[in-house]
Structure 1
Amino acid sequence: MEPAYRGLGRCACAFWLAVAFDIFGLLILLLGVFADVFFYDFLIYAGAIIIFLSLIWWVFWYTGNIEVPPAELEDDVGLLKKDKGGSGGIGGAVRRLSSRVSSGIRSSLRRNGGPPRVGSSAHARVARQPENLPVALATMTPREDTPHTVSAAVDCDVAMPHTTTETSPT
């Protein structure tokens, strides 16, 4: 048997927190309005923010006290209505078809060892590049007027301008 909630409902803690935030925020706001202090604007804004934050507790209290009859929870939590014939009609046919398709998919995944992994699929093995590529480099003496070329094993020449490196004494 469910306990009978009277007055504040199930979420009395959220209710009292909301009331406390409202009272505290109102006191700070009124202190900022009527007190003769140089930081009155801070008190006014802080009181308004605290009152705004009390809305969170009011929403918690309100939503915590919403009562939904089990008849309306049918599809939300997996309960089926027995009075409307859950296994007949178009809804029942769709439900049976859906359960057959999902159980078929589940059984095929179990049979095949689960969904394919990214690292072990065939297209990932084909797309993998070799780690070390052979590169042939030639040693040349630099000239001031001609650009340097580097020949790779794939027969492409890349022209590189001559650069000098300056080092600073340490």
Structure 2
Amino acid sequence: MEPAYRGLGRCACAFWLAVAFDVFGLLILLLGVFVNVFFYDFLIYAGAIVIFLSLIWWVFWYTGNIEVPPAELEDDVGLLKKDKGGAGGIGGAVRRLSSRVSSGIRSSLRRNGGPSAHARVARQPESLPVALATMTPREGTPHTVSAAVDCDVAMPHTTTETSPT
């Protein structure tokens, strides 16, 4: 035996949350309208947003209280009755078309390597080997280091002091 729901139905929590959001939003909105503060526009917008968010709870409460007889629910979840035949009429044609389109999309995604669970790794460019030559420093000329890719880099002359060991 199902419990008898009176008044608010099965989703009383969603109902009271919706009412609380409405009351709180209305209070904030009215504060913004009637109280002389420099941030009145913030209060007006915040109250309107809170009232808008209460719609979520109203939708939860309403949809949670919709009662669907099991006879109608059987058809929606794919358990067709034997006496209807399952494939007759416009409903059967729409169901077959929907099944054909969804299976075609699913198979084409599998075939073409569609969205997968693994993130695709971007290919890194191959590293180029660079050969460095050791050169003896000449006085008064900048030092250059040449690489295998024909790129000359001018380096200023620096001296290194070492402590005697």
Q: Normalized against structure 2, the TM-score is what?
A: 0.52
> Measured at CA, do residues 60 and 133 of structure 1 come closer, stay the same or move farther in structure 2, by a change above 3 Å?
same
Deviation at 1:30, TM superposition (A): 0.3
Displacement, 1:13?
A: 0.5
Range with greater deviation from structure 2 (88-97 or 33-42) = 88-97
Cα pair distance change 1:136/1:74, threshold 3 Å = same
Distance 1:60 1:167, change over 3 A: farther
Q: Identity rate of aligned residues, in percent?
A: 96
Superposed displacement of residue 79, structure 1: 2.5
The 1:160–1:30 alpha-carbon spacing in structure 2 relative to 1, beyond 3 Å, is: closer
Aligned-residue offset at 1:100: 15
Report the equivalent of 1:166: 161
User: In the aligned structure 2, how far is the partner of 1:141 from the partner of 1:128?
Assistant: 40
Distance in 2, matches of 1:138 and 1:85, equals 85
Superposed CA offset, 1:80-129 (max 9, x none): 32443559999999999999999999999999999xxxxxx999999999
CA distance in 2, matches of 1:41, 1:67: 42
Deviations, residues 25-73 of structure 1 (Å, cap 9, x unaligned): 0000001100011111110000000000000000111111111112222
| Equivalenced residues, count | 164
Q: Runs of 4+ in structure 1 displaced over 4 angstroms?
A: 85-114, 121-170
For the structure 1 residues 65 and 35, does the alpha-carbon distance in structure 2 shift closer, same or farther, using more than 3 Å as the test? same
Unmatched tracts of structure 1, length 5 or more: 115-120
Give 1:2 deviation, angstroms: 1.4
The aligned residue for residue 146 of structure 2 is: 151
CA distance in 1, matches of 2:148, 2:121: 22
What is the TM-score when the length of structure 1 is the normalising length?
Answer: 0.51
Partner SS for 2:79: coil
SS in 1 for 2:75: coil
Task: State the Cα distance separating 1:160 from its structure 2 match.
Answer: 23
Report the Cα distance in structure 1 between the residues aligned to 2:49 and 2:11, rounded to whole angstroms. Answer: 23
Is the partner of 2:144 in helix, strand or coil? strand
Q: Which residue of 2 is the match for residue 118 of structure 1?
A: none
RMSD over aligned Cα, in angstroms? 7.6
Q: Does 1:103 find its partner at 2:99?
A: no
1:122 and 1:26 map into 2 onto residues whose CA distance is 45
CA distance in 2, matches of 1:41, 1:126: 48
Shift of 1:76: 2.3
Instruction: Note closer, same or farther for the CA distance 1:127–1:143 as it changes in structure 2 (3 Å cut).
Output: farther
Matching residue of 2:135: 140
